[in-house]
Amino acid sequence: MNVRPSTTRRAVIVSLASVVAAAAPAAPAAPAAPAASKKQKTKTKKTDISCALTLFATIKQPAPTAANFGSARCSKPFGIGLQQDSSKTTRTSLNAGSFSGPFTMFFKRGTLKGTFTINFVTMLSSVYQITGVIYRGTLKVTGGTAAYRRVRGTGTVAGSSPDAVKTVLAYKLKLTGVRRGGPASGPAR
């Protein structure tokens, strides 16, 4: 015989199930998400580096391009090295303009690479012979290799040349990613 529970009985069972469910221990609440913390801007330490360069032109000027090669003596940790650069020449007059292009500095523990823009003014004699050149500009270090692979930064360049062949420059750089550990670089190889 098939017995069907009565409607009242069903109501009692449903009510009882609701009471049991309500009395069951509640699951532990999920831990609250940590308050959104403000990202603190960590100041990246900038290191002041100075370099003295003696470069020699490998393309005779005036020309639409320029290139130089020579020695670099920089403060620690870089030390003594070499620089090679090339550039496009943009003239604003017979005796003035700018050079812009890439450079690479070679040191014992790695290289630095970047770009520069240097304005120049050339002094000319009455017969249009070069009697001197003044240089002022900016540099951007975009990377490096080996020990200097994380180095980045900017700087200024100033210098002069008596003949547009031999040039003496001074770099003042503010660099990040410079590690001071270990010996200073020796001669580039």
SS (H, E, C) 138-172: EEEEEEECHHHCCCEEEEEEEEEECCCCEEEEEEE
Are 134 and 108 spatial neighbours (Cβ–Cβ below 8 Å)? no
Residue owning tokens 């070069």:
130
Residue owning tokens 């529970």:
5
- In the chain, where do the E strands start and end? 47-57, 65-74, 79-93, 96-107, 110-124, 130-144, 152-161, 166-176
Question: What pLDDT is stored for residue 84 in this prediction?
Answer: 98
Are 80 and 188 spatial neighbours (Cβ–Cβ below 8 Å)? yes
Nearest to 186 by CA among 97, 83, 78: 78
What are the pLDDT digits (tens) for 57-98?
A: 999 988 999 999 999 999 999 999 999 999 999 999 989 999
Q: Which two tokens stand for residue 41?
A: 């801007």
Are 115 and 149 spatial neighbours (Cβ–Cβ below 8 Å)? no
Q: pTM score, two decimals? A: 0.72
3-state secondary structure of 73: strand
The CATH architecture of the domain made up of 47-176 is Beta Barrel (2.40)
Question: What pLDDT is stored for residue 62 in this prediction?
Answer: 84
Nearest to 160 by CA among 53, 29, 46: 53
What is the rounded (10 degree) CA torsion for 156, 162, 164, 169?
A: -20
Give the pLDDT band of residue 109 (cuts 50, 70, 90): very high
Domains of the chain by residue range:
47-176
pLDDT mean across residues, the chain: 83
Question: What pLDDT is stored for residue 20 in this prediction?
Answer: 42
Nearest to 128 by CA among 159, 161, 91, 95: 95
Are 108 and 78 spatial neighbours (Cβ–Cβ below 8 Å)? no
d(CA 173, CA 152): 10
Could you tell me which residue, 102 or 42, shows the higher pLDDT?
Answer: 102
What are the pLDDT digits (tens) for 7-53?
A: 444 544 444 444 444 444 555 555 555 555 555 555 679 999 999 99
